[in-house]
Structure 1
Amino acid sequence: MTTLLEMRNITKEFPGVKALDQVNLKVEQGEIHAICGENGAGKSTLMKVLSGIYPIGTYDGDIHYEGDVAAFRTLSDSENRGIVIIHQELALVPDLSIAENIFLGNERAANGVINWHETNARTEELLKKVGLAETPTTKVDSIGVGKQQLVEIAKALSKDVKLLILDEPTAALQENDSRKLLDLMLELKSQGVTCIIISHKLNEVRYVADTVTVIRDGQTVSAQAAKGLSEDKIVADMVGRDMTHRYPEHVRSPGKMLMEVDGWNVWHPEHGDRQVVKNASFNVRAGEVVGIAGLMGSGRTELAMSVFGKSYGRKISGSVKLHGKEVDVSKVDRAIDAGLAYVTEDRKSLGLVLEETIRFNTTLANLEEVSKGGILNKNEETKAAERYREALATRTPSVFQKVMNLSGGNQQKVVLAKWLFTEPEVLILDEPTRGIDVGAKYEIYTIINDLAAQGKGVVMISSEMPELLGMCDRIYVMNEGALVGELTAAEASQERIMSLIVSE
């Protein structure tokens, strides 16, 4: 095989941190090459070096591409050579059409006038390549995340891509959409496109990858053929220790009934004729972890957000009881006062203020606790943030670090700290381990087990069925807005859950 890309002894330093230390990466023409590693290992930093986001001169080492030494100073430099990176946070403009997004900054125009006939015709060709039936004029905000991911790939193909880099491409996707995207990667490979995929989903890595490179603590640990490579070996390389047991052992004895939601109905906030939660009833006992399974769009998040201060939906009806007494959850502050907390699935947009510090974010949902007479006590705020940093083992030099500079797993710990500081009785976790690696997941699972051991009630929403099976005492199954089944841990299996979903 011909080597398309070789990164030799790449070292990249930030103030006080060596993010990459003599990293080597070799990618062959026409292969799918997976890069695995824990959050903060240096994977994304390496790709930013490759794509010119971190330009030549800001790092040590050499990049050899198509037989030449590459000197990328900007993202445009790498794109002009056929290197296109698709980040985990999609860079599409929701209010623009698919065609407008695909050719944004690369317009088909003459004398400053866009040729819409050519733009739409070329878009149709690209959509056909990625398996989308939508029209070029369809607005991006009207299609799901899975299809938006395919639009991003169509956009990459419009730039005559030779090396396509996908950073956690399936993190927000359901299993069906994930498989479509992975199959598309295999199709692109057959057409001669080389791919680099960064992923925490090791079953997907083994499905598509020819080679797997593992990076740990900014250094290359291993690079080996994917064929015959076990997930346990990849995990051991990623975390530097054996992780045969992906879920921490626990023995739970659920106590008294803690929360009861009865006859809960929610209507879409914009489409008044569409009911998104239909007569849902569920309960949680003290010291119990209760899961909610279901496909994307089943109504899980809508249920959680509407219960938490009616922060989603219209015409909401039903009751919420804590300790047998009905409580007021009509507003977020009232839900917090009642003893509820909600960790959103979108920590970056809705869970955190990324430009602010760990200290700022930790106390944000309970400022009264660190204030007197409306004046914030900075010393008390620092003490609180330090207490939770230590309790959750958040990896950071100090609580004055900006949250945007933390890894995904440590960001998630800050979100948890923010809500734990409100001292809730019931904590609703929506996709609590999305986009974080296996080592950080284990730490989050341990925190969940500790909360249950303290007598808290935990509601856990997850798209990863093995996660629900490994962590929950009971699992409710949701489909098309309704809770269609309830399984104990002993009864539950992936097959039982899926059969409840498809039988409705």
Structure 2
Amino acid sequence: MTDDILRMRGITKTFPGVKALQDVNLSVRRGGIHAICGENGAGKSTLMKVLSGVYPHGSYEGEIFFDGELCRFGDIRDSEHRGIVIIHQELALCPQLSIAENIFLGNEQSARGLIDWNRTNAEAAELLNRVGLHENPVTTISDIGVGKQQLVEIAKALAKKVRLLILDEPTAALNDEDSAHLLDLLRGLRDEGITCVIISHKLNEVMAIADSISILRDGRSIESLDMATGEVTEDRIISGMVGRALENRFPPHEPNIGEEALRIENWTVHSPTQRGREVVSNANLTLRKGEIVGLAGLMGAGRTELAMSVFGRSYGTDITGKLYKNGKPIEARTVREAIRNGIAYATEDRKRYGLNLIEDIKRNVSAAALSKLARRGWVNDNEEYRVADEYRASMNIKAPGVSSITGKLSGGNQQKVVLAKWIFTDADVLILDEPTRGIDVGAKYEIYSIINRLADAGKAILVISSELPELLGLCDRIYALSAGRITGEVQRSEATQERIMQYMTKGLDET
């Protein structure tokens, strides 16, 4: 038996008109953590779906050897029977069922045809303890956060006697604390002899946890790297991913900041579910024309709640405070009013709230400003096509045409469609909530370039991001938010991660 638990040889997968994988080879050592890196569309998830039987034998070319044996998986049950379990980026949990029910869904603990609930809950409790999740097994999935749901997925995999665990972007939606806990858990599983394959765009996490790395580009194997050599760097990985050295993660930009565009004064927002709780307290901030302003804060600090409440009071109750646009007071009590006043908000959850994934690009681009294309209640299809195609070209949206279904685009291209939608509204204040979440380094650079161009056109931009290096590299000025309060404001020339983090945690230890 070799040291490799998995070998994939000559894997080629074709979809109509697209060769997603071409002669890909992958070797994974037993008992290690192997990272797969590549830009969106490089074929990472497709390769893992081939391995796990989501794409069954016969739908691809090539061979899969697991534990030295040739495997031909007809579906995901076949791969799970061998101990290969995949956790997709979109978690496969039933929100209305309990934690225990989700852990053993399809793998029920039964006796004589009836589910043994005492055994189910007891074994679920043992698995939860193993992954470090301190929750009652009967708790409903909808009552726990995304970080805890990720741990439930791992407990579910352990219940299936997993030997090779595949995680697709496991920390994409997690805060720093939950991400660190998850990485520690993976190290523990490695120590138990469980092999892990992790797909991630977060290269700092890859560097921290991986024993080896495979790089894919345009559906092809590029290289495999052994972290034990001590010679692997983030720049080396990026060069393999994008095919060139990316000397600067952020495009150069010289700001031309003008007059005040938006001012938020004494803004207070109450929780819609917890009576009397202030989610945002007496916040004051300003945005200027041509300026990129950052908003930093830990998970739960109130960043998204502040943004959504300003955008037509999309969140919160008992909202008080004043908004000023170009020095004049405005009302933005509905989304329609906010758009009419030139304010746009690009949500952090583009798949759920930002896009209609089953519609094409042109319908998504025009969705927030159909009145610009309509005459007497009828949309001019030719004009809609022309406008969308102009944005496709100017924003380098990689798609055959604007009739392409948005849900089939990569994450970076979906984000460009979101930006195109709001730019088309002629908004001159853009609030961008986690604009590069789940996007590879090459696509991030393109998004940063678009944001810079918008600022150069005189737009005022507020960027909310959980990545402090992103705020430091992109923004002209940064606000910090802690427990719903603005706790600091830093100019770019004076900004450091340490200083911003001090503001982000200010007041959290007060009782």
TM-score higher than 0.5: yes
The residue number in structure 2 matching 1:174 is 175
1:24 matched to 2:25? The reply is: yes
Residue correspondence of structure 1 range 274-293 to structure 2 within 5 A: 274-293=277-296
2:444 alignment partner, one of 426, 441, 466: 441
In structure 1, C-alpha distance between the alignment counterparts of 2:115 and 2:329, rounded to whole Å:
60
Instruction: Provide structure 1 residue ranges, at least 5 long, that are not aligned to the other structure.
Output: none
C-alpha deviation, 1:88, in angstroms = 1.0
Query: 1:351-405 CA distances to partner (integer Å, 9 max, x unpaired)?
Result: 1111110011110001111111111111011001001101100001110000111
The residue number in structure 1 matching 2:274 is 271
The residue number in structure 1 matching 2:368 is 365
The residue number in structure 2 matching 1:88 is 89
Query: 1:119-152 CA distances to partner (integer Å, 9 max, x unpaired)?
Result: 1111111111111111112222222221111111
1:247 matched to 2:250? The reply is: yes
The residue number in structure 2 matching 1:321 is 324
In structure 2, C-alpha distance between the alignment counterparts of 1:280 and 1:145, rounded to whole Å:
27
1:310 alignment partner, one of 292, 298, 313: 313
2:391 aligned partner, one-letter code: Y
2:224 aligned partner, one-letter code: A
In structure 2, C-alpha distance between the alignment counterparts of 1:492 and 1:149, rounded to whole Å:
33
In structure 2, C-alpha distance between the alignment counterparts of 1:354 and 1:219, rounded to whole Å:
27
The answer to whether the 8 A contact 2:100-2:137 is kept is yes
In structure 2, C-alpha distance between the alignment counterparts of 1:277 and 1:385, rounded to whole Å:
37
In structure 2, C-alpha distance between the alignment counterparts of 1:422 and 1:110, rounded to whole Å:
60
The residue number in structure 2 matching 1:213 is 214
The answer to whether the 8 A contact 2:270-2:318 is kept is yes
The residue number in structure 2 matching 1:466 is 469
TM-score (norm 2): 0.97
1:61 aligned partner, one-letter code: G
1:354 matched to 2:357? The reply is: yes
2:13 aligned partner, one-letter code: K
Query: 1:4-29 CA distances to partner (integer Å, 9 max, x unpaired)?
Result: 11110100111111100100000111
In structure 2, C-alpha distance between the alignment counterparts of 1:93 and 1:259, rounded to whole Å:
42
The residue number in structure 2 matching 1:492 is 495
The residue number in structure 1 matching 2:73 is 72
C-alpha deviation, 1:274, in angstroms = 2.0
1:351 aligned partner, one-letter code: G
C-alpha deviation, 1:48, in angstroms = 0.7
In structure 1, C-alpha distance between the alignment counterparts of 2:264 and 2:390, rounded to whole Å:
33
In structure 2, C-alpha distance between the alignment counterparts of 1:154 and 1:40, rounded to whole Å:
29
In structure 2, C-alpha distance between the alignment counterparts of 1:394 and 1:144, rounded to whole Å:
33
C-alpha deviation, 1:502, in angstroms = 2.4
1:165 matched to 2:128? The reply is: no
The residue number in structure 2 matching 1:13 is 14
C-alpha deviation, 1:479, in angstroms = 1.0
In structure 2, C-alpha distance between the alignment counterparts of 1:393 and 1:32, rounded to whole Å:
35
The residue number in structure 2 matching 1:115 is 116
In structure 2, C-alpha distance between the alignment counterparts of 1:97 and 1:313, rounded to whole Å:
29
1:140 matched to 2:141? The reply is: yes
1:385 matched to 2:385? The reply is: no
How many residues align? The count is 504
In structure 2, C-alpha distance between the alignment counterparts of 1:200 and 1:323, rounded to whole Å:
39
1:92 aligned partner, one-letter code: L
The residue number in structure 2 matching 1:414 is 417
Identity of aligned residues (%): 57
1:159 aligned partner, one-letter code: K
In structure 2, C-alpha distance between the alignment counterparts of 1:281 and 1:112, rounded to whole Å:
62
* Secondary structure of 2:273's aligned partner: coil
2:321 aligned partner, one-letter code: G
C-alpha deviation, 1:95, in angstroms = 2.5
Instruction: Point out the more displaced range, 131-140 or 334-343.
Output: 131-140
C-alpha deviation, 1:253, in angstroms = 2.2
TM-score (norm 1): 0.99
Instruction: Provide structure 2 residue ranges, at least 5 long, that are not aligned to the other structure.
Output: none
Query: 1:261-296 CA distances to partner (integer Å, 9 max, x unpaired)?
Result: 111111111222322111111110000000000111
Residue correspondence of structure 1 range 329-348 to structure 2 within 5 A: 329-348=332-351
1:365 aligned partner, one-letter code: A
The residue number in structure 1 matching 2:54 is 53
In structure 1, C-alpha distance between the alignment counterparts of 2:243 and 2:4, rounded to whole Å:
29
In structure 1, C-alpha distance between the alignment counterparts of 2:469 and 2:459, rounded to whole Å:
22
In structure 2, C-alpha distance between the alignment counterparts of 1:275 and 1:404, rounded to whole Å:
36
The residue number in structure 1 matching 2:35 is 34
The answer to whether the 8 A contact 2:261-2:460 is kept is yes
C-alpha deviation, 1:206, in angstroms = 1.0
* Secondary structure of 1:192's aligned partner: coil
The residue number in structure 1 matching 2:399 is 396
Instruction: Point out the more displaced range, 240-249 or 111-120.
Output: 111-120
In structure 2, C-alpha distance between the alignment counterparts of 1:441 and 1:426, rounded to whole Å:
21
The answer to whether the 8 A contact 2:89-2:170 is kept is yes
In structure 2, C-alpha distance between the alignment counterparts of 1:262 and 1:111, rounded to whole Å:
66
1:298 matched to 2:301? The reply is: yes
Query: 1:13-61 CA distances to partner (integer Å, 9 max, x unpaired)?
Result: 1111110010000011101000000000000010111111111111111
The answer to whether the 8 A contact 2:32-2:195 is kept is yes
The answer to whether the 8 A contact 2:296-2:504 is kept is no
In structure 1, C-alpha distance between the alignment counterparts of 2:252 and 2:401, rounded to whole Å:
31
C-alpha deviation, 1:498, in angstroms = 1.2
1:22 aligned partner, one-letter code: D
The answer to whether the 8 A contact 2:482-2:506 is kept is no
2:206 aligned partner, one-letter code: V
Instruction: Point out the more displaced range, 68-77 or 449-458.
Output: 68-77
* Secondary structure of 2:337's aligned partner: helix
TM-align CA RMSD = 1.0
1:237 matched to 2:240? The reply is: yes
In structure 2, C-alpha distance between the alignment counterparts of 1:176 and 1:57, rounded to whole Å:
42
The residue number in structure 1 matching 2:264 is 261
